[in-house]
Structure formats: structure tokens, C-alpha cells
Amino acid sequence: MALFVQSLRLFAQTQPRFESNSRSSSANALLPQHHIRSAEGAMMPLHMELKRNAALVTALGLAITLGGCATQEQASSGGNGPEIKLDSTLVANARAKAVSIAGGQKIGGSLEIINENGGREGAILQAAFAPFAEATGVTIKFTGTSDYNSVLSSRLKAGNPPDIGTQNLGAIQQYLQSTKLLSLSDAVGDAELRKNFSPATLDSLSVNGSVYAMYQGFSNYELWYNPQSYDGPKDGAWSDVQSWTEKAAAAGKTPWCISEESGPATGAVGSQWIEELFVKKFGAEKSKDWGTGKLPWTSAEVKSAFQMFGAVAAKDANVNGGVSGSLSQSTSKGYGALVADPAKCSAVMWGTWTPSLIAASSNGIEPGKNLDFVRVPASNPQYANTESFRANALFAFKDTPATRAFMKYISSAEEQTLLASANNWVVSNTNVPATAYSNPLLQKVSKTFFGSDVSVALGPGALAPAGVKTAFWQGVVAYLKNPSSLDAVLAHIQEVESAGAS
């Protein structure tokens, strides 16, 4: 298949209104802020899914109300993060599209959105949604929380789901077993969807032939490196990368930066490594079998992918800060070490959002000078052009004029071009030009991973129930702490899956 995420003060009477609260592990007090700049330490990448064991880490949440009728060409929040500024022409184009979708009428009312993204990435989404709120008169209440999965589950069980939620395809399939969701094949139309998205993208959002959700950011996985310090392979096989890792570590040069700590999603980074290594060795079909439970977690293939990951990540000399450091370093800040002066590592394997996180946590990046990427080398050359990706998607629990209009809006080339211009993720709408990204690295990602020669693989991150993913993340942490426990770790995840965890 051809290819691919603060109570806010009133800003002004003529601006959309934002209200938010933020809960941290140290305090549950309301923290009034302006609108939408990332609070220090509050970042949660779009791809990060829930780990429901809230006993481990208290969930960070934020809620924003967005409404009004004036031009919203930038969004900024309180805290110490950067403002989100979007191009005024692209904002106007998105606003015009929203006006057209609404038939020139003010829909009014409100939309409640529960999403996984807080901090800067939540701010980007809200900035992209602001033209819709302005054009339609719909007030948007946006809640970003790393605990979104259990929040959605609790709300659904109480019979009070939000209008819009965020999930992966596996969870959406589960919801459809007990509740009705808005079909985008109906609300947007299959013909319109096919004009804007590849068959692979639509397939990854479909259940029984109907599209139910829409991505607001799409990330492949790359091997990011600092050209000033990296002397490893840029092509070849994964075994070449492993050999370089061993030689660099033996010479006293730390090859990798890996940062796992992400509150209730700690361990997700390692799970993404494992899925990518699996895809590059065993291909898309086995990856799908793994994600849907047909291939056991105790299989030789899954164990092999864990071991390939552990050969890098479970050895202190290979990782900046050692294994314990990798588990305690925040995903929102730990990767800045790649472009430090001097660099504290030479390579990172993570998603398309990596440059944005590095830029936000360091003195900045210079594309091609201190940061570049290559495709993750394959263990099996047959799968060199097979790529995994990570993205949750927005879907609608309710069928209302506001939800229909909103889902049409976020599916449009105009909104996705605006989102792309924030330079945080690539987007999946095929009518968004590479020039929408001012960051040359994202332009390169768009051109590299969206060609007709690229096939897309879905695994547990996209297809497994939430409880299985939680066990996966916890298993990564347990394995890194004690590599000899791998068989027990895999057996436990299999037990969770066999028990039908949701």
C-alpha cells in the first residue's frame, strides 16, 4: 500500500477564548495561563498513547475553551515555551474552508475534544482548530491529557462521552462493538476522502470498509543523527548499525540518546523501537498479525525484535546516561543532547516529531549541519521500503452538525496545510505540498516516506487494545531493568492479551 497530535486567560474581546487547568504530579491546583504556549515540562508528543496505570504517575491534564469570532493567526500560552505562530494566509485559507463547510452559516453550540496532547503540541492543534471556531461560532473545549484513554473509557461507561476523542484503530474497533461512532465515509464522503488520502492511510482508519477517524499528525520513524559526531552507516543493514554501536561504545563514545520517561506513557519509546525493528525484519503482514493477536508475544519473531532493541538500549555504554538515565530522562527534553555542544551522543531513533522536540529543548537545530536523518536500515532487504508509523486519530462519538463540520474541516487540505506549517509533524493529506513545511527536514521526510514505493505497516501501537499496549510499555521498562527477564515479560504481555484487556 502506498503511503501516511492550561486554563487560559481571556486574551482579548476579539480573540477566541481559552480557559485551562493543569494538573501535575506535585500539585492539583489550577494554574491560570495565557493561550497556547507550552508550559515547561508539559510536552506530550502526538504519538504518545496512554499508560493506564495511574498509580505510577499522576496524569497531566489541560483543558482549553476556544470560541469567538475574530482572526486567530497565532496562539500562545503561558509558561516558558515558544509561541505558536501560523502563517496568516494559511489561517485565512483554513477559515474560508470552514465557512464553506458551514454553508456560510454560524453553526454555534460547542464541541468537547479529549486529546492526548498537552503543552506545545496541544497548542499547535488548538491553533489549527481556531479558524474553525471563528468561522462557525462553535466553542471548542479542548482537554489534553496523557490519561486520555482511561478518561474516555470512564466517560463512555458513564454514558457521557465527549463529542470528539483520540484513539488508535484498535481502540476504535472496540468502541464500535458497543457504541455508534460517526462514519466519515458518510459525514465527509468516500469520494472526497479518496481525493485527499492514499488507500493505505484510509485503510488504517477504517473498520469494515468505513472510515471512522482522521489523523492530525503522522510520524514515521527515522534514524536521526548529528553529522558533526556521527560516523556510522547511512545505508546497509541494521547489523551495520549494531556493529557501529559496539565499536563506538568500545572507543568510549556514547552512540545513542534514548529517553523513555513520559509520565503514564513511560516505555512507549522503547515499544516504538521494537515495532520498527520488527517491521524491518519481518514485514507488514506479520506486524499486523502481531498487532491483532494472531502472532503471540511469546513468538520467536517478537522475542527477536526485543533482543535487537536490547542489544542497543540495555547496555549502559551505548546510551547517554546509561540505562537508568534513559528511563528517567524526559522524552520532551532528553533528546537535546544530540545537538549539544559538544554532542553527548551521535544518533537517535524516533519519530518525525524529533526535530521539534529537540528544538524546544536545546539551543536549536541547524538542518543538515547538526541534525539529519536516514531511513532505519532493514535487517531483511525485502522490507527496506516498509515503514511503521505512529499516530492517533480524532473520531466522533456524536453525530451533530458541529461534529460533522469539524471532521470535514480537519480532513481538508486547507486545515492540514495549516497544521503542516507548524513544522511538528508531517500530515497525511496528499494534497498538502512539501513546501508547506518550512523546515527542510520535514520536507525531506514528506518526500522520502510518501512515495509510491513505500508500504505501510501497522502493529500493536495501532491495533492492540489499550491494556495490551500498557503491558507492552511496562514490559519495556522491566526488560531494560533486567534483560534476563525477557521470557517472563513476554509471557505476561501474552497473558494480558489472552485475558482480553481493553
Domain that holds residue 428: 22-47+55-218+391-432
**Number of structural domains found in the chain:** 2
Of the pLDDT bands very low, low, confident and very high (cuts 50, 70, 90), residue 498 is: very high
Do 95 and 108 belong together in one domain?
A: yes
CATH code at position 272 = 3.40.190.10
User: Could you tell me if residue 279 is inside a domain?
Assistant: yes
61, 270, 282, 353 from 386: Cα distances, Å? 35, 19, 10, 19
Provide the pLDDT for residue 356: 82
Provide the pLDDT for residue 364: 80
- DSSP per residue over 421-480, as a string? TTSSSB---TTS-GGG--SHHHHHHHHHHSSTT-EEE--HHHHS-HHHHHHHHHHHHHHH
Whole-prediction pTM = 0.76
Domain edge (last residue) among 399, 432, 465:
432
Do 242 and 363 belong together in one domain?
A: yes
Do 160 and 97 belong together in one domain?
A: yes
Do 184 and 225 belong together in one domain?
A: no
Do 211 and 246 belong together in one domain?
A: no
User: Could you tell me if residue 196 is inside a domain?
Assistant: yes
User: Taking residues 50-66, what's their average pLDDT?
Assistant: 34
Provide the pLDDT for residue 150: 83
Provide the pLDDT for residue 207: 94
pLDDT in tens, 409-443: 999 999 999 999 998 889 989 999 989 998 899 99
- DSSP per residue over 352-385, as a string? TTHHHHHHHHSS---BTTTBEEEEPPBSSGGGTT
Identify the weakest region by mean pLDDT among 20-24, 188-192, 278-282.
20-24
Provide the pLDDT for residue 501: 60
Q: Cα(138)–Cα(68) distance, rounded to whole angstroms?
A: 8
Of the pLDDT bands very low, low, confident and very high (cuts 50, 70, 90), residue 307 is: very high
What are the strands, taking DSSP E only, across 232-382? 347-351, 372-375
Do 419 and 476 belong together in one domain?
A: no
Do 349 and 466 belong together in one domain?
A: yes
Do 238 and 340 belong together in one domain?
A: yes
Of the pLDDT bands very low, low, confident and very high (cuts 50, 70, 90), residue 101 is: very high
Determine what percent of the chain is predicted with pLDDT higher than 70.
Answer: 82
Q: Is residue 39 predicted with pLDDT exceeding 80?
A: no
Q: Cα(38)–Cα(364) distance, rounded to whole angstroms?
A: 16
Q: Which one has a higher pLDDT value, 321 or 445?
A: 321
Do 72 and 212 belong together in one domain?
A: yes
Contact yes or no for 428/436 (Cβ under 8 A): no
Do 374 and 404 belong together in one domain?
A: no
pLDDT in tens, 243-284: 999 999 999 999 999 999 988 789 999 999 999 999 999 999
User: Could you tell me if residue 82 is inside a domain?
Assistant: yes
